[in-house]
Chains A and B, each alone.
Chain A
């Protein structure tokens, strides 16, 4: 894209400025080696360059040479109306180089936008005609290609006190209006009102492809007494669809390729803490890189499984390797980077590892709201021993 951009810039530069050439001064958009697009006012004689070089502040500079976004494509962005209505010029840095002034925008140009560079010599008390040059950046593909790859939990039956979903996208997404794009529809086709905890700082992974969605803790049914007024978001015996709207835009600003629906039914609440004592461990043989397989009697939280389980060798060191979560979050496999050594090992788990209802190994979700946070955040680990047999 960068190459095309430079070529286009030079072509436009000639069309727009050749007819108004004055003392060889001219405007052009240039792609620098690093890929950044800059605006160059070139061909200045030495007295003009010296006069311009006395400028210091951004506003002094932008009075004479400025670059504008032309939203309407008619040049109005560059001329504006009254000062209060005028669109401000793009921010960036000015540098005088021999017979040229270079403007480097602080942020890269956006795709598919029309930019106008304007040189006003009169504003600096200089002679010469006003120059104006427009340039439209190539548009990126607007083809909707991003999809929801998966919604965790994978299971189609969730406990009534289910707490957390993860929405996994195929590409980085935009943020800021995510909660508008997710609906929970019940089996009567009615939308459940405000079922989710809506956080200003949305919960995204650093890459922006995994969104964490929490059922509002105030809408999670707990205890024997149901919520009286608003009711729980999910009720046992009923079925729901989590609908991810196609209008959710990816990081390019393009809609999803299709809507995504996850249908699930709701079973009784789960108030039991996961018990590592019930996990089935299939130990690998030494001198192989056969994965360690751990099976859980109930599905556990996908996101937490990825970072709250690890393997410790006989020397108490963490074994290097990669893990995968499978079978609807009821299994975890670990493939070591180097072949297994024979001897005792341990599977370690943080006690904050949770099931779908937010029950952690440390305690059931229900209990902790009446206990102090200091106790609750006291994170420890539990270990389950296993032996890698020699061949």
Chain B
């Protein structure tokens, strides 16, 4: 997923050239050690600088940073793979039915696409990371000997209690992550307790804190919520301050100030749009077109939404019930030509790479001009 928007954009154009070929790269990779990451599952992906790939492992409740060493120049050519699921299945020696594509991320350095995959739909499904280059060639990464580091998410907060049954609550899932200026932002849901959490983890990894619990006003439901997880988010500068724009199921769009994310704190977001009910957001990117920034949000039921950011800083907070599941707040248009998009990430200023399910039922990797 592309969580890089403006901040990483800035990084790509300012920081990397300043550090060209030397210090910054080694600083970031210094914390990585060669070995075999004990990945139990491969979920949401995000890229940091220098081809460092962050892989969320929801089953293992951990995040891995892996040096892909994929730092070549991007190709002008787009990425396209027809019957992606069949081809990945062929490389993995199995059937397309046994291939689950969990996320897509473009490496901003090389322009190559990375996919997190489960080989097998059962609980033993093996985690796989694959790279697709501009020629459409699929490379299944070997993670037996890579430079990596691991950040294990600590157990959900709670007192030390006695008893063998007194297992602490564990973060069951990581819903999304993004690298922003030296920190990894992680959204998740703790199972059973059901508290929505955002964590800001410094990279290189040191200690992972308890995270910040987040609360939103859900206009379609007419109430405050702390139990629903962020489904997908992007970072975005509002009035020169870093924010998170987060989309929730059924479908509030909420902004949080990054400056407010403090360990153990509880914060309330500002709901700036209700995008319509009976819908689950899947993936989101930010891009610029004709001098204006837009969000592009893929959804389970309502197609791909192009959301203007014109008044996102001053948008009135939704604090009252929005009746009949209607739209309210920041406006959007539905991009009719973008059908059945399951994953998307930005390839460059003008194009996105998407995972689309075709009418033939197969998954296809395609490059599309940003709308």
Contact = CB atoms under 8 A, between A and B. Distances in A.
Interface string A212-236: 1000111000100001111000000
Interface in A63-109: 67-69, 71, 77, 83-85, 87-91, 105-109
Nearest to B229: A199
A312 B227 contact: no
Interface in A196-210: 197-201, 203-204, 206-208
A230 B325 contact: yes
Interface stretch (B10-18, B82-90, B304-312, B332-340): B82-90
A78 B249 CA distance: 44
A53 interface: no
B137 interface: yes
Interface in B130-144: 135-138, 140, 142
Contacts of A307: 165, 167
A377 B250 contact: no
Interface of chain A, main secondary structure: loop
Interface stretch (A172-180, A258-266, A292-300): A172-180
Interface string B61-98: 00000000000000000001110001101111111011
A121 B125 CA distance: 36
Contact of B91 (A83, A91, A200, A304): A91
Contact of A374 (B91, B156, B192, B264): B264
Contacts of A368: 226
B118 interface: yes
Contacts of A380: 159, 161
A77, A203, A218, A253 pick with most chain B CB within 10 angstroms: A218
B43, B91, B98 pick with most chain A CB within 10 angstroms: B91
B95 A203 contact: no
B300 to A, nearest CB: 8
Nearest to A86: B87
A122 interface: no
B90 to A, nearest CB: 4
Nearest to A197: B249
Contacts of A228: 222, 321, 323-324
B173 A218 contact: no
B291 interface: no
A181 B321 CA distance: 32
Given A107-B93, A318-B164, A373 B189 contact: no
A90 B172 contact: no
A271 to B, nearest CB: 15
B206 interface: no
Contact of B87 (A88, A109, A309, A348): A88
Contact of B165 (A212, A308, A374, A377): A308
Interface string A364-386: 00001110111011111100000
Contacts of B324: 228-229
Nearest to B167: A307
Contact of B223 (A207, A369, A376): A369
A226 to B, nearest CB: 11
Interface residues of B, number: 84
Nearest to B90: A87
Contacts of B124: 172, 208, 251
B275 to A, nearest CB: 14
A206 B96 CA distance: 24
Contact of B191 (A84, A200, A203, A372): A203
A216 B250 CA distance: 10
B195 A377 contact: yes
B121 A175 contact: yes
A229 B220 contact: yes
B278 A230 contact: yes
Given A109-B93, A249-B121, A85 B82 contact: yes
A123 interface: no
B25 to A, nearest CB: 24
B324 to A, nearest CB: 4
Contacts of B102: 200
B119 interface: yes
B89, B140, B165, B220 pick with most chain A CB within 10 angstroms: B165
Q: Which 9 A-B pairs have the closest CB atoms?
A: A251-B122, A208-B123, A174-B121, A201-B173, A373-B213, A87-B90, A379-B158, A218-B221, A229-B324
6 contacts: A69-B89, A194-B250, A198-B249, A199-B189, A227-B221, A320-B164
Interface of A: 67-69, 71, 77, 83-85, 87-91, 105-110, 113, 115, 172-177, 193-194, 197-201, 203-204, 206-208, 212, 216-218, 222, 227-230, 249-253, 303-304, 307-310, 312, 316-318, 320, 348, 350, 352, 368-370, 372-374, 376-381
